Amino acid sequence: MGEFELIRHYFQRTGPHPPGVVLGVGDDCALLQPDPGQRLAVSTDMLVEGRHFFADVDPVALGHKALAVNLSDLAAMGARPLGFTLALALPRADATWLAGFSAGLFALADAAGCPLVGGDTTQGPLNLSITVFGQVPPGQELRRSGARAGDEVWVSGQLGDARLALEALLGEIELAPERLARARQRLERPTPRLALGLELRGLASAAADVSDGLCGDLGHILAASGVGADLEVGALLGSDAISADLRAQPRERALRCALAGGDDYELVFTAPAAAREALLQAARAAATPVSCLGRISAEPGLRWRNESGQPLDLALASFDHFA
Amino acid sequence: MGEFELIRHYFQRTGPHPPGVVLGVGDDCALLQPDPGQRLAVSTDMLVEGRHFFADVDPVALGHKALAVNLSDLAAMGARPLGFTLALALPRADATWLAGFSAGLFALADAAGCPLVGGDTTQGPLNLSITVFGQVPPGQELRRSGARAGDEVWVSGQLGDARLALEALLGEIELAPERLARARQRLERPTPRLALGLELRGLASAAADVSDGLCGDLGHILAASGVGADLEVGALLGSDAISADLRAQPRERALRCALAGGDDYELVFTAPAAAREALLQAARAAATPVSCLGRISAEPGLRWRNESGQPLDLALASFDHFA
């Protein structure tokens, strides 16, 4: 199969363009038409075999995840998806792999209303680079820099299960099969929180997605906003942000997975305490659970305290590709 | 050096955002504000070590080329650059390489008015994936599908020298050092024809950039437009589209390089014969030479004839990563 046949067969879809897409795959550029006055939100994420996924990962799950991690950045900005491009390096044109990968990719693209509008295909070590485009009305975007002292700190969904699955798959820990199956879903099929991101427009003061671990990504918000946070381990461990599977683990492992695990693709965000009721209403409208973890303070730094008020004694580091 | 320090040191620049960029590197997404009513042109190209460049290529030249091949797609659409994202997989954080690469990248970005607005950095086999964004007024974009019978076929600049350099660097042919130095400039530092693309708005009926070879890329225009073309080898070989270095080569090699070489990053385009004077004026305004190679006809297919009117007897194939 040649390069252009591969693109036609697996990545070029017929039928009318969705709204906002004037010209899709097949010319020198795609052409998008954002709604009048809207800003364009852009993000890019690259996934490399052996770093971001195992060589034997289910290609359907990989297609899903490659797009999901990008959509998660749009969600964290409060942007509505417009489309995406895919640059793909493949060792060889393997029909079974391509059929699975494109099925997983397009299933999520369709669900999110985010069509593939262009791309590039080349031979090389397996590498998936996706760039997503979304739109957001001026001033309604969720930046990292808007957190203020007194705001509450929230997180969506559940943290740490992806890391739990990774440790089990690497053979570092043992998990019962049904626990591993559930955690593995979180690792391989994360849910981008697009609906919540849209509902948080005008409510959240700052937001980021949790890709490198809660401490690291909340740390980005604190640094960009010039503030700090005081959080309680007990509030976290007792909240809906910790799954029953993670709560069943030894305490130190549960905390490490939840605070510094990464690959969660939840949203961490801040909002004025006065917005609490509106925020819970927004979360219900988005059908996405949220948990409050503590408060923003004027004093820079991220401070975790345990149930007896002592500083948390746990070495935590967010993921760094070159550290 | 850690991942975030690497980004800050080599890829995050201080100072005010250029027009059109509301928010650059450092949040979950970049935010762009296209001019009112303009369409967004988007293209992506991935460069892989060993496929698109040699492992020992000058990193300054590689930084230039990685962006240039993407800007060439904007040029072929008649779009004005707004910005780009870079996803970069690196085997290791090599300071000398990164300094050179980012210098070459930013020199072209500054010259083209196309700022880096976001990206991703990861460890892995060397891979550069860039996505560019530009804007173009509705209806003024240069699509591949607009060529009509009777239109003339044009090409910008010169064809084939990049291929000539590649064959010499691979040891397949011998070139005098000064010839190789000139040809190598064309291979490693292609000039995206952005100014010409803008001037061709409203003049050209169709356009594409020459990345896989003239025959292949003109073939895309013919297929998308449902037309054919009759071109003369003599017109090509006698035109300014062939450099003195290429003309000095054996005829078959010169033709193969010019027609199926690839990596030229010139524009091939069509325009009504009545637009010839306006077109030459546009090329002068863009300070870019153009050459007329023949005519579009209603009969599908690309037909080359030699100086005596006979069909060209030369096997030509455009580059295919999986053929």
Q: How far apart are CA A259 and CA A163, in angstroms?
A: 10
Q: How far apart are CA A80 and CA A74, in angstroms?
A: 7
Residue of A87 and A18 predicted with greater confidence: A87
The two most distant CA atoms of chain A are separated, in Å, by 64
Distance from CA of B20 to the nearest CA of A (A): 10
pLDDT at A321 over 60: no
- Residue B119 gets which letter from DSSP? E
Look over chain B and give the mean of its residue pLDDT values, rounded to a whole number: 92
Helix axes A161-169, A251-260, angle to 10 degrees: 110
Residue of A316 and B183 predicted with greater confidence: B183
A80-90/A127-136 β-pairing: antiparallel
A contact test, residue of B10, B21, B32, B44 with most A CBs within 10 A: B44
Q: How far apart are CA B201 and CA A157, in angstroms?
A: 49
B contact test, residue of A129, A132, A143 with most B CBs within 10 A: A129
Residues of chain B with pLDDT > 70, as a percent, come to 96
Q: How far apart are CA B23 and CA A42, in angstroms?
A: 10
pLDDT at B54 over 90: no
**SS3 state at A67:** helix
Per-residue pLDDT band for B85 (boundaries 50, 70, 90) equals very high
Among A269, A66, A139, smallest CA distance to B31 is for: A139
The residues in A 124-183 lying below 8 A from B, measured between CB atoms, are 124-125, 127, 129, 131, 133-134, 136, 138, 141-145
Which of B36-50, B263-277, B293-307 has maximum average pLDDT? B263-277
- Reported as a single tens digit per residue, the pLDDT across A240-263 is 999 999 999 999 899 999 999 989
Whether B27 has a binding-site annotation, put simply, is no
CB A70 within 8 A of CB A191: no
List of chain B residues whose C-beta atoms are within 8 Å of the C-beta of residue A136? 31
Interchain CB distance below 8 Å, A131 and B136? no
Whether B9 has a binding-site annotation, put simply, is no
In sequence order, the 6+-apart residues with CB closer than 8 A to the CB of A113 are: A18, A80, A81
- Reported as a single tens digit per residue, the pLDDT across A144-177 is 999 999 999 999 999 999 999 999 999 999 999 9
Distance from CA of A191 to the nearest CA of B (A): 16
Q: How far apart are CA B162 and CA B323, in angstroms?
A: 21
For chain A, say whether B222 makes contact (Cβ under 8 Å). no
Interchain CB distance below 8 Å, B48 and A122? yes
Interchain CB distance below 8 Å, B48 and A1? no
- Reported as a single tens digit per residue, the pLDDT across A62-80 is 999 999 999 999 999 999 9
List of chain A residues whose C-beta atoms are within 8 Å of the C-beta of residue B133? 40, 42
**SS3 state at A224:** helix
Per-residue pLDDT band for A319 (boundaries 50, 70, 90) equals low
Whether A220 has a binding-site annotation, put simply, is no
ipTM entry: 0.89
The residues in A 200-219 lying below 8 A from B, measured between CB atoms, are 207-209
List of chain B residues whose C-beta atoms are within 8 Å of the C-beta of residue A225? none
- DSSP codes, B167-180: HHHTTSS---HHHH
| Average pLDDT rounded to a whole number, residues B218-232 | 95
Q: How far apart are CA B229 and CA B303, in angstroms?
A: 6
What is the structure's pLDDT at B315?
A: 65
For chain B, say whether A34 makes contact (Cβ under 8 Å). yes
The domains of chain B, with CATH numbers, are 3-136 (3.30.1330.10), 152-305 (3.90.650.10)
What does the block give as tokens for A15? 């039928």
| Torsions phi, psi for B281 (to 5 deg) | -65, -45
What is the structure's pLDDT at A306?
A: 87
What is the structure's pLDDT at A126?
A: 94
What is the structure's pLDDT at B17?
A: 77
Whether A144 has a binding-site annotation, put simply, is yes
Nearest CB to A31; choose among B40, B89, B120: B40
- DSSP codes, A77-117: HTPEEEEEEEEEEESS--HHHHHHHHHHHHHHHHHHT--EE
Whether B43 has a binding-site annotation, put simply, is yes
Q: How far apart are CA B44 and CA B130, in angstroms?
A: 6
Rg, Å, chain B Cα set:
20
Distance from CA of B33 to the nearest CA of A (A): 5
CB A263 within 8 A of CB A185: no
- Reported as a single tens digit per residue, the pLDDT across B100-155 is 999 999 999 999 999 999 999 999 999 999 999 999 999 999 999 999 999 999 99
pLDDT at A320 over 60: no
